[in-house]
Amino acid sequence: MARSGSSNAAEFARAQQSLVGGVNSAVRAFRAVGGTPRFIARAQGAYMWDVEGRRYIDYLGSWGPMIVGQAHPAVVEAVREAAAHGLSYGAPNVMETELAEAIKELYPQIERVRLTSSGTEAAMSALRLARGATGRTKILKFEGCYHGTADSLLVKAGSGALAFGTPSSAGVPADLAQHTLVANYNDLASVEVLFAEYPGQIACVMIEPIPGNMNLMLPEPGFLEGLRALCSRAGVLLIFDEVMSGFRVAPGGAQELTGVVPDLSAFGKVIGGGMPVGAFGGSAAVMEHLAPLGGVYQAGTLSGNPIAMAAGLATLRLIREPGFFEALAARTRQIVDGLCEAARRHCVPFSARHAGGMAGMYFMAEAPRTFAEIQGQDAAAFKRFFHRMLDSGVYFPPSTVEAFFTSSAHGEEDVAFTLEAANAAFAQEAQSVSPPIPLATQ
């Protein structure tokens, strides 16, 4: 535990002596916004408290999992009860089956599931499965989409890789990266060109159907439908990476919202309720290429461990309650609309939008449609806004290329507090950009 009287700065200095960059995940280091990361001591509902005792309204939500708020009593109780019966067996337990059944209920095209301990493992394993099932080598992803840290996917990736200027990571051998083809989100022609150039060689297309790792992006009408048709015609497996959008934009994720059904889906975050869980699934015909039935190997010591299962099942029970998503979307819309109104009031170029409980804000007049457009936002203005809000007790994700998240714990008073802080932040921005002319010179 943090030493009494500790400070974020002291804990960050201490952490950097033992942890690379003081963190265990690059995006937490505040490198894109500067300043000192907050060391969180505890969290409850819509709030987190740092080691200095400062409270923050939490729009990070652990990057998506905390959709019912932090330390929800039902989730904590489920974890407590499971822990009393053992933390990990390395052998099947019924809750693994129950979580797989819960996923299948909301994603009806899925016949078989495999659970993992992270979204990275889910996306990485789905990729290997696609290559094994088709016998093809090439894969196609989209610039700015992030699928975790498997080598083949760290090519023009989003999230922290993009934020820190290393969208194509060092350490990935060129003769591996060459098999990762990159197209542009919302640009079907860029996919058609690659399909034409590599006939019969592409195993899969992997996409965040509703991206959150180049900030929130929304599919243009016909884009996902066109992708589905292209893949079906070419015998290419379409993989929806719904690690972030699944159980977040709607109970059935982007597939429910758009009606476009992939061949394989990857999940994470919400299905673990804050504990390490990932999953991927699809038809039995494809999935049964996986060991122990098929030749595509996949395994994990803690996959399906009872504590993570208990947290995930408790969370999924809560989000299935009648009206949960309607209320979440309405709350998120209230925040998005309020932010836009405050920015307009102070003539700050700003736009924002949401999909269910996932939202994006952009310091640019019009919300972006493509990865290229989102590069045009005013990152310096975002940085000033981020710190003004953090200092006011409102914690947004520390990056211009990340979405933010709401939960069922965010109440009216939290929205009011957030919008009041935003109004002050935009007023400061307006003044800092065009300070009032002193009376004497008027």
Which of 138, 141, 156, 269 does the annotation list as catalytic?
Answer: 269
Find the shortest distance in angstroms from Cβ 216 to ligand KE4: 11
Find the shortest distance in angstroms from Cβ 84 to ligand KE4: 27
Nearer to ligand KE4, 27 or 307 (CB): 27
- What is the DSSP-derived secondary structure letter of residue 190? H
CA distances from 435 to 69, 346, 367, 421 (A): 40, 12, 27, 20
The residue sitting closest to ligand KE4, measured at its beta carbon, is 119
Nearer to ligand KE4, 30 or 426 (CB): 30
By CB under 6 A, the residues from 3 to 42 that bind ligand KE4 are 25, 27
CA distances from 235 to 71, 187, 207, 283 (A): 44, 20, 17, 15
Among 8, 118, 265, 406, binds ligand KE4 (CB under 6 A): 118
Nearer to ligand KE4, 37 or 119 (CB): 119
Tell me whether residue 378 is one of the annotated catalytic residues.
no
Backbone angles phi, psi at 39, to 5 degrees: -90, 115
Which of 47, 56, 59, 146 does the annotation list as catalytic?
Answer: 146
Distance CA 260, CA 279 (A): 19
Which of 241, 263, 378, 414 does the annotation list as catalytic?
Answer: 241
Alpha helices in 152-283 (DSSP H): 159-163, 174-177, 188-197, 223-234, 253-258
Among 37, 45, 61, 148, binds ligand KE4 (CB under 6 A): 148
Tell me whether residue 146 is one of the annotated catalytic residues.
yes
Q: How many residues bind ligand KE4 (CB under 6 A)?
A: 21
- Only one of the segments 80-88, 95-103, 208-216, 299-307 lies at the binding site for ligand KE4 (rule: CB under 6 A); that segment is 208-216
What long-range pairs does 217-224 form, CB within 8 A, spacing at least 24?
A: 217/144, 217/185, 217/186, 217/360, 217/368, 217/369, 217/370, 217/371, 217/374, 218/353, 218/355, 219/186, 219/254, 219/258, 220/186, 220/369, 222/188, 223/185, 223/186, 223/188, 224/254, 224/258, 224/260
Backbone angles phi, psi at 359, to 5 degrees: -140, 160
Find the shortest distance in angstroms from Cβ 293 to ligand KE4: 25
- Only one of the segments 96-104, 140-148, 327-335, 352-360 lies at the binding site for ligand KE4 (rule: CB under 6 A); that segment is 140-148
Nearer to ligand KE4, 258 or 334 (CB): 258
Distance CA 59, CA 88 (A): 31
- List the 47-50 sheet strands across, edge first: 40-44, 47-50, 55-58, 394-395
Element at 139 (helix H, strand E): strand 138-142
Q: Is 303 in the site for ligand KE4 (CB under 6 A)?
A: no
Distance CA 66, CA 159 (A): 19
Alpha helices in 178-323 (DSSP H): 188-197, 223-234, 253-258, 284-287, 306-319
Nearer to ligand KE4, 151 or 288 (CB): 151
Burial (Cβ within 10 Å: 0-12, 13-18, ≥19) of residue 108: exposed
Among 213, 215, 258, 332, binds ligand KE4 (CB under 6 A): 213
Find the shortest distance in angstroms from Cβ 123 to ligand KE4: 5
Find the shortest distance in angstroms from Cβ 382 to ligand KE4: 16
Find the shortest distance in angstroms from Cβ 196 to ligand KE4: 28
Among 243, 314, 348, 394, binds ligand KE4 (CB under 6 A): 243
Among 32, 95, 102, 120, binds ligand KE4 (CB under 6 A): 120
Tell me whether residue 141 is one of the annotated catalytic residues.
no
Contact 188, 123 (CB under 8 A): no
Find the shortest distance in angstroms from Cβ 278 to ligand KE4: 6
Q: Is 147 in the site for ligand KE4 (CB under 6 A)?
A: yes
**How far is Cα of residue 246 from the mean position of the Cα atoms in its chain?**
9
Q: Tokens for 337?
A: 């609309």
Element at 391 (helix H, strand E): helix 379-392
Q: Is 146 in the site for ligand KE4 (CB under 6 A)?
A: yes
Q: Is 123 in the site for ligand KE4 (CB under 6 A)?
A: yes
Nearer to ligand KE4, 24 or 431 (CB): 24
Count the helices and strands in the chain (H runs, E runs).
Answer: 15, 14
Q: Is 139 in the site for ligand KE4 (CB under 6 A)?
A: no
Closest CA to 141 of 190, 181, 177: 181
Q: Is 159 in the site for ligand KE4 (CB under 6 A)?
A: yes
By CB under 6 A, the residues from 390 to 419 that bind ligand KE4 are 402
Residues at the contact surface with ligand KE4, assessed by CB under 6 A: 25, 27, 63, 118-120, 123, 146-148, 159-160, 208, 212-213, 241, 243-244, 268, 278, 402
Catalytic residues: 146, 241, 269
